[in-house]
Amino acid sequence: MQSNIPAKRVFKTPIVVPFSIIMVVVIYAGYIYVSATGEESEFLSYLKNISFQVFFLCELGMVCLIFYNKKQLEDFWCRFSSIDSRHSLECLKPIVRTNMYSSLFMLVFLGLGSLTAIMSILNFGLIKSVVVGVLSVVTAILIQWYNPSEQKIKHIKCSNESLAQELDDILQCWMHKPLPNF
């Protein structure tokens, strides 16, 4: 039986991508504006003092999520090279759900990490600025390392015609519905 699902699924750009870019630009612009006008709140003053530690924790959180999700995807791939039964599809659902929720946490870590990164670079010495730059690059490399695993699962074959549409629906909502109905 031939499945009517194409060999390569086409996915919309995840909603997190444009939102995260807009969020980071707004955070940088907002912080520069607040710094230039001198209208810092108590919260920003306090955050400025601990910004390097908060940045470090945000980066650590993103790295932990990347490793956890990568392990889940690789474990699934080792157990199931294709979706051929209801059991394999049911095993995929929590992984997809975890990845959706992880993307929301990554968004929070990215936003707070961006704010504290600029605060650290502007308010601390050269050494902490270099550490911020290196950690940011390492995290970006880890994200690139994780993406092929995610793409491999998103393009998993379905050998069971009756599950093909359900699999496609699950994979299509991977990054678009933080509160899935399945």
- Report the pLDDT value the prediction gives residue 64, as an integer from 0 to 100: 93
Question: What is the DSSP secondary structure assignment for residue 124, as one 8-state letter?
Answer: S
53 in Cβ contact with 133 (< 8 Å): no
Report the percent of the chain where pLDDT is more than 90: 12
> Is the pLDDT confidence value at 1 over 50?
no
- Report the pLDDT value the prediction gives residue 174, as an integer from 0 to 100: 66
Q: What are the pLDDT digits (tens) for 56-102?
A: 998 999 999 999 999 999 999 999 888 888 898 899 888 888 888 88
Among the residue ranges 2-6, 30-34, 66-70, 160-164, the one predicted with the least confidence is: 2-6
65 in Cβ contact with 113 (< 8 Å): no
The long-range contacts involving 29-38, CB below 8 angstroms and separated by at least 24 positions, are: 31/115, 31/118, 31/119, 32/118, 35/122
> In DSSP terms, which residues pair with 82 in a beta bridge?
157
The closest alpha carbon to 155, from 173, 169, 168, belongs to 168
pLDDT band at 103 (very low <50, low <70, confident <90, very high): confident
104-125 exposure pattern, b = at least 16 Cβ within 10 A, e = fewer: eebbebbbbbbbbbbbbbeeee
Q: What are the pLDDT digits (tens) for 148-175?
A: 888 888 888 888 888 888 888 888 776 5
Reduce the DSSP state of residue 5 to 3 states and report it: coil
Helix (H) or strand (E) holding 158: strand 157-158
Ordered by start, the domain boundaries in the chain are: 16-172
